[in-house]
Amino acid sequence: MTNKRERTIYNWEDEEDYYLPLWYSHLNNNEWEPEPEIFQKSFLSHDKNILSFSGSMNDCFEIVFDVLGYNVIDITTKQELDQINNYEGVILKGGSDISPKLYKEKNQYSNGINGKRDFIEGLLIRKALRDNKPIMGICRGHQMITAFFGGTLFQDITKQKKKFDNIRPIAHRATHHQIIANNLLKKYIPHTFVNSYHHQAVKKVPDGFKVLAYAHDSVIESIYKPGILGVQFHPEALATDYYQSSFDWIQLFEWFVSGLQP
């Protein structure tokens, strides 16, 4: 019988292989699982919860989900996650790059890799799948969904994309640009002018997902399958930026909490 430690560390979908730390051989044994910090629920103001890991624009998420009547619980350990059964979905927030090991590549241009975060977000995705809860990934989270389900990334758009498809990329770091969205996504967004804060992007779309939006340079801006949505832009910032956008972007999060069905 094959020992679990002899298995490939990239078999994301093997339900028996729950030894997620083995995916992160670049970590020391004590780095991926710190002492548990038991989550205290006394300050929660709503009866419904969204699970996540702390990332970029946390305050924006708090505002959006408070309006919708949800708490955002940032999970930090497996022990915390095991104690929570009352939740309505998982949000994967923005942040630094995921480990290229998750999509079977060597690191060429990835920065700020956080193995603990990769590990916890892998657990969050598995929990949501088992409990039939919706999953929404934003920017880094969009890329995490891609890697989890077997897709790949451009580690740096400017250095790799033109060589791949001969299309020169537009600016994607700290800017705004138009996207080309299909009719399903258009139902839940007020317009197609989005923000952009990334240097990586989806290269190979995971099997079973379809693309809902592209940028004009063919960068994939959204992927979807029923119950799971990834977007490369930041709708939480668009919904809460008083000067540049509209709270109508909350429609996208309403779709998420309703289950992300077509």
List residues with catalytic annotation. Answer: 139, 234, 236
* The token pair that represents 25 in the structure block: 């051989």
Please provide residue 156's backbone torsions phi and psi, each rounded to the nearest 5 degrees: -150, 120
* The token pair that represents 105 in the structure block: 């590549």
Region of 69 on the Ramachandran plot (φ > 0 left; ψ -120 to 50 alpha; else beta): left
> Alpha-carbon distance 123 to 13, whole Å?
12
Place of tokens 């989890």: 148
CB atoms within 10 A of CB 3: 6
> Alpha-carbon distance 154 to 97, whole Å?
11
* Residue 115 near residue 31, CB atoms below 8 Å: yes
